[in-house]
Amino acid sequence: MNKNTLQQAGKRFLLSEYSGPTIAILVIGIFLSIFSPQFLKLTNFINISNQIAINIIIAVGMTILITSGGIDLSVGANVALSGVIIALYFRAAPDGGSPFIGILIGLGMGMLLGAINGVIVAYLKAPAFITTLGTMGVFRGFALVFSGGRPLMGINTDFINTFSGFVGAIPKQFIIALLIALIGGFVLNHTSMGRIAKCMGGNERTLRVSGIPVEVYKVLMYMITGVLASIAGMVLTSMMAVAEPIAGQFYELDAVAVVVMGGTLLQGGKGTVFGTLLGAILLGVVRNGLNMIGVPANYQQLFVGLIIMIAVISGSRRKQAVQF
């Protein structure tokens, strides 16, 4: 490779949506490895991958949805409600239940909750933001009501082992998250569903006059998001071995944050799952690093918020630079 093509590749990287999060991860990573001897250790990386898995799973669905011009704020509540329903099944089943049925129930819950959001947005034409803000309350409410407001124990052990534990040194939930990210990226870039998502976010009218059943696809996108949230719910329930009705709070905001940090346009039309993955890693590294270097808990929120703001602002500045 000669100098020119290297320069070009460098330039293309800088202009791509991946440059911001990548540079940020590197800078923060270098900073942390200097100031904290623990940071570069394998156990710490395992730790980080453990922490970001759930965010990745939810954010992949959110990436597809936001690309299509939608948004779902009910995913956090979905995580809790799916977990609670599965726990109720395991507690009610006389023989402790089968993990297979538990998973089916979880996936079914995700589809159902996603479909509820989708139908309201697509057919009743309610704005997605407010709709899912409403269902967020409703889903959370059901989680509290069904669980009696208490954490539910008695989760099937095989079920727990499906979603947590290790393969070699790598946490299972991280493998699941990476698989989902791979599939999500493929769906967005190489399937008609992904193409339609991008068109829907870019110009919904065009899809409509082209004779594509926009409403059907809209519901499908919400269902994908719902299913991924319920998978996140199953992972979380397995990790804690207990279903918490108050679990998953603010997961929706973390997901939206990493989606936007990764370069997906909040108004839709352009989206990248790989960018989302980078965003999730960045957020994970920051959270981990703040602990590592001993930043007091009260200050951590502040820094996380600042990092998200910087990432998003630099992202939109880059977009302007590319456009003009």
Partner 1 sequence: MNTLIEMKSLKKTFGGIKAIQNVDLELYAGEVHGLLGENGAGKSTLMRILCGLEIPDKGIIKIEEKPVEIFKPTDAQNLGIGMIPQELILIDGMTVTENIFLGHEIESNKLGFLNQREMREKAMDLLEGLGSGDIDPDTYVGLLPKAEQQIVAIARRIIQGGKVFIMDEPTSALTENETEKLFTVIRKLCSEGKAVVFISHRLEEVLDICDRFTVLRDGKRIVSVENTDQIKKGHLISFMIGNEIEEEFPHTATTPGEKKLEAQNLSFTTSQGVEVKNVNFDVCAGEVVGITGLVGVGKTELAQSVMGLRKLKDGQILINGKKKNINSPVSAVKSGIGYVTEDRRGEGLVLGLKSLYNMTLSSLKKITRFYVIRGYHEKKLGLDYSSKLNMKNEYIDLEVKKLSGGNQQKAVVIRQMMGDSEIIIFDEPTKGIDVGAKAEIARLISSLSKEGKSILIFSSEPREILGVSDRIYVLNNKGFKGPFKRGDLDYKKLMAIEFGEKNAGGAQYE
- Give the binding site for partner 1 (CB under 8 A): 190-193, 195-196, 198-199, 202-203, 205-213, 269-270
Pick between residue 116 and residue 227 the one whose CB is nearest to partner 1. Answer: 227
Pick between residue 75 and residue 197 the one whose CB is nearest to partner 1. Answer: 197
Pick between residue 118 and residue 194 the one whose CB is nearest to partner 1. Answer: 194
Q: Which residues pair with 166 in a beta bridge?
A: 171
What distance in Å separates the CA atoms of residue 73 and residue 135, rounded to the nearest whole number? 8
Q: Nearest approach, Cβ of 321 to partner 1 (angstroms)?
A: 16
Q: Nearest approach, Cβ of 108 to partner 1 (angstroms)?
A: 22
Pick between residue 93 and residue 212 the one whose CB is nearest to partner 1. Answer: 212
Q: Nearest approach, Cβ of 262 to partner 1 (angstroms)?
A: 17
SS3 state of residue 166: strand
Please choose, from the candidates 139, 168, 1, the residue with its C-alpha nearest in 3D space to the C-alpha of residue 75.
139
Which tokens belong to 138? 């409703």
Please choose, from the candidates 29, 63, 21, the residue with its C-alpha nearest in 3D space to the C-alpha of residue 311.
21
76-282-15 Cα angle (round to 5): 115
What distance in Å separates the CA atoms of residue 127 and residue 132, rounded to the nearest whole number? 9
Pick between residue 115 and residue 193 the one whose CB is nearest to partner 1. Answer: 193
Q: Nearest approach, Cβ of 263 to partner 1 (angstroms)?
A: 14
CA distances, 191 to each of 64, 95, 111 (Å) = 12, 42, 20
Q: Nearest approach, Cβ of 221 to partner 1 (angstroms)?
A: 14
